[in-house]
Homo-oligomer: A and B are copies of this chain.
Amino acid sequence: MHAHFSTKERILSAAEELFARHGFAGASLRQVTAAANVNLAAVNYHFGSKDNLINEVFRRRLDELTARRLSALQSVRETGAPSLESLLEAFVLPALNLATDRFGGSAFMRVLARAYAEHDQTLRKFLSDNYGHVLKSFAHAIQDVLPDLSKEDLYWRLDFISGALTYAMSDFGVVRRPAGRSDDEHRRHAAHEFVRFAAAGLRAP
């Protein structure tokens, strides 16, 4: 555990939190640098531009998220005959763990939901170029488990699942956390509910 974080890291964390709360256009570099206790000019020195700062906010978390997802997928496949539920868990749990990470990251799921809502071509291309292969790996693994599902139906359903997961992870909407349940337990429960729901949806006739 480090008591000190670099200027770059502090900028990234502050940007993540403020982009989650106000959006990419809505959060200014002045707000970011004030929250990070850093000089305004430091952003351009370390990141060059606001657009590039946005990309780096994604890269920091997504690199680890995809690594964890692919590693979990590998573990599940090594068991020989993975269940649909175990494949979905390999996709969902790393996102959940990131969201519950005490070093921050819960804001990142909201940033990701923003990115989904943005139809910005530049951002989409960056995401699909760098992380599209993860979705493909999971699609193949799920296809193996559901050989009777047509490729088109599979992609429709994965699309629905992605949307549902993004929104569920960023905000547990109408479902309020019961009084006696911790935030972590609430999220774990959410993941379990989600996997059951998604598995049933994928198995639809």
Interface residues of A (CB under 8 A from B): 20-26, 110, 113-114, 116-119, 135, 152-153, 155-168, 170-175, 190, 193-194, 196-201, 203-205
Contact = CB atoms under 8 A, between A and B. Distances in A.
B175 A155 contact: yes
- The number of times this chain is found in the oligomer is 2
Interface centre among A166, A172, A197, A203, by most chain B C-beta atoms within 10 angstroms, is: A197
Nearest to A28: B25
Contact of A163 (B110, B119, B135, B167): B167
Nearest to A26: B25
Interface SS majority for chain A: helix
A137 to B, nearest CB: 14
Closest 9 CB pairs of A and B: A163-B167, A200-B204, A25-B26, A164-B164, A117-B117, A201-B201, A160-B164, A159-B173, A25-B25
A166 B168 contact: no
